[in-house]
Chains A and B, each alone.
Chain A
Amino acid sequence: MFNIIIGQYVPGQSVIHRLDPRAKLLAVFLFVIIIFLANNWVTYALAIIFTLLGVFLSKVPVRFIYRGLKPIIIIIIFTFILNVLFTKEGELLVSYGWFHIYEGGLIQAVFISMRLLVIIVATTLLTLTTSPIDITDGLEILLGPLKKIKLPVHEFALMMSIALRFIPTLLEETEKVMKAQSARGSDFTSGSLKSRVKAIIPLLVPLFVGAFKRAEELAMAMEARGYRGDVGRTRLRQLIWSLSDTFLMLVTLFLTAALFILRG
């Protein structure tokens, strides 16, 4: 039931997996911005090639990515249809009553769907190949300079890593409580809307009780082990910037330049 893959991590040993999280974060961040530069076939093709290359190198099964993206494809199709219907540019291709399709609209629809798809695949690839801990570590270091202006970067990173750490636990717990209540005759999957909403309460109460209990225990355990916040704290796991990370940065910068030059 939980087969949405956004935010999931698939452990592995591929080149992409071993990249420094800072490099991956920067690259994806930059990529999501520069994709808006693309406005013709050549630039879109470049962006798509860049993404596919990432997917290929990550060795994550394409079928798995495809299945995980299925729910999102509906959104993309929806955007596609809206764009086809409401852009009135270029040659008129089809006309049927009030229903017109223009060449410009079609092209625009393809481009915008591509853009969405590429953004989603690129960001998903980041989370699929980088453990949550690495992502937060990377973010904390990248945002480190903001500590100078008193932004609570460390606290933010800690909150994020705790949240990420407990998402699987919470899902597991949800499944367990759902099973336990189903065994007592709860029905989550059929019946009227009202009865389904009612079935949520026996699920939510135990989850909240459990979550609060866990939060309390975690806070206690952290204090017991001497956690006192950011000041003077050293890292157990050092991030190491290697040649391939520099290479990724260069490729991304090269792509940026190419998009600037080749855009129409």
Chain B
Amino acid sequence: MDITIKNLTHLYHPNTPFERIALRDINLQIKSGSFVSVIGHTGSGKSTLVQHINGLLKPSRGEITVGDVTIKAREKAPRLKDLRKRVGLVFQYPEHQLFEETVEKDLCFGPMNFGLPLEEAKAKAHQALKLVGLPQDFLQRSPFDLSGGQMRRVAIAGVLAVEPEVIILDEPTAGLDPMGRRDILSLFERLHEEKAVTTIMVTHSMDDAAYYSDKVLVMDRGQVVMMDKPEHVFSDSKQLKQLGLDIPVTMNFLAKLNKKVHGQSVRPVFSIEETADAAIKMLRQGRGETGHV
């Protein structure tokens, strides 16, 4: 499902003293099957933007098209349920949405809301639980007896059980330990690669944004500042600093190393392996130079 946003502006509490402009005149396109990260300073409008994609928020001005559904300002929104079935949204701290007595029931909630019969919903629930790496004997446990990380996985499974074509993640790893973070992110990476799920991830981690995504969307005070491949976005560290952002640690490391050995500037890399390779190359060059002197 392609996503097209045209001249989108969003106001919270319009026509009151609390009126606040959260998005200003946004234009962008997201291709079906891509992985887009959204970064930006706190309050820059990331969450507001992504909540438009499944119709939770309506544009105050402009329009948004997701697949064959278009939502326009000042028009009655069409078939939102259908849209929400196809676009899953994992909120920050999704474990706060758990409510059923058992994990299984909670996982069935989404599929059954979208019209699946109980048996099929259960089948989806079992699959989703497997996807997030939890054993099947969790199905009969109460979601409130689980650890924070396990609750997070169950909540994510609740969204995956609907099998959406687009997944939106609003800081999915906030408050998790490093292991849990990596597990969850690689789960979404796998879904994206194997099932071509369009993935949109809001994140505060430059490393994750750089490593996982095809495109990085940079927001500042309600506007889109850049939307480009990670290697382009993160090559402009000066502008990122101005926006209160940073470059990934891998690049930061190489830049510092580069300065020490007076090597040539390097192309941006984001994985640990590539960074190691780049570092070795740089050291060889550096040594080569000093060898000549």
* A240 is an interface residue with CB less than 8 A from chain B: no
Which residues of chain B from 149 to 184 have a CB within 8 Å of any chain A CB?
158-159, 162
Q: Report A-chain residues with C-beta under 8 Å of the C-beta of B56.
A: 179, 182-183
Residue of B with least CB distance to A181: B97
Chain A interface size band reads 20 to 34
**Min CB–CB distance A131 → chain B (angstroms):** 14
Contacting pair B88 A183 (CB below 8 A): yes
Identify whether the interface residues of A are mostly helix, strand, loop, or mixed: helix
| Other-chain residue from B15, B54, B96, B110 in contact with A177 (beta carbon distance below 8 A) | B96
Interface status of B51 (Cβ within 8 A of chain A): yes
Please, how many angstroms separate the alpha-carbon atoms of A60 and B89 in the complex? 38
Q: Given that A176-B91, A206-B96 are contacting pairs, would A184 and B17 also be in contact in the complex, using a CB cutoff of 8 Å?
A: no
CB distance from A207 to the nearest CB of B (A): 9
Number of interface residues of B (CB under 8 A): 27
Give Cα distance in the complex from A210 to B144, angstroms. 12
Task: Verify B96–A210 contact, CB threshold 8 A.
Answer: yes
B6 within 8 Å of A by Cβ? no
B54 touches A183 (CB 8 A): yes
Q: Are A185 and B110 closer than 8 Å at their CB atoms?
A: yes
Q: Are A177 and B16 in contact (CB under 8 A)?
A: no
B212 at the interface (CB under 8 A from A): no
Inter-chain contacts of A14 with B (CB < 8 A): none
Question: Given contacts A176-B91, A184-B158, could you give 4 more A-B pairs where the C-beta distance is less than 8 Å?
Answer: A179-B56, A181-B97, A183-B54, A209-B99
**Counting CB contacts under 8 A, is A251 at the interface?**
no
Q: Is the CB of A3 within 8 A of B16?
A: yes
- Asked whether, in the complex, the Cβ of A180 is within 8 Å of the Cβ of B17, the reply is no
Could you say which residues of chain A place their CB within 8 Å of the CB of B91? 176, 179-180, 183
With A183-B84, A184-B113, A185-B81 already in contact, the answer to whether A206 and B99 are too (CB < 8 A) is yes
Contacts of A229 in B (CB 8 A): none
Determine the distance from Cα of A80 to Cα of B99 in the docked complex, in whole angstroms: 45
Q: Does A205 contact B (CB under 8 A)?
A: yes
Does A67 belong to the interface (CB within 8 Å)?
Answer: yes
21 A-B residue pairings within 8 Å (CB atoms): A3-B16, A10-B18, A61-B17, A63-B15, A176-B96, A177-B96, A180-B89, A180-B91, A180-B96, A180-B97, A183-B56, A183-B84, A183-B88, A183-B91, A184-B84, A184-B110, A184-B113, A202-B109, A205-B99, A209-B99, A210-B96
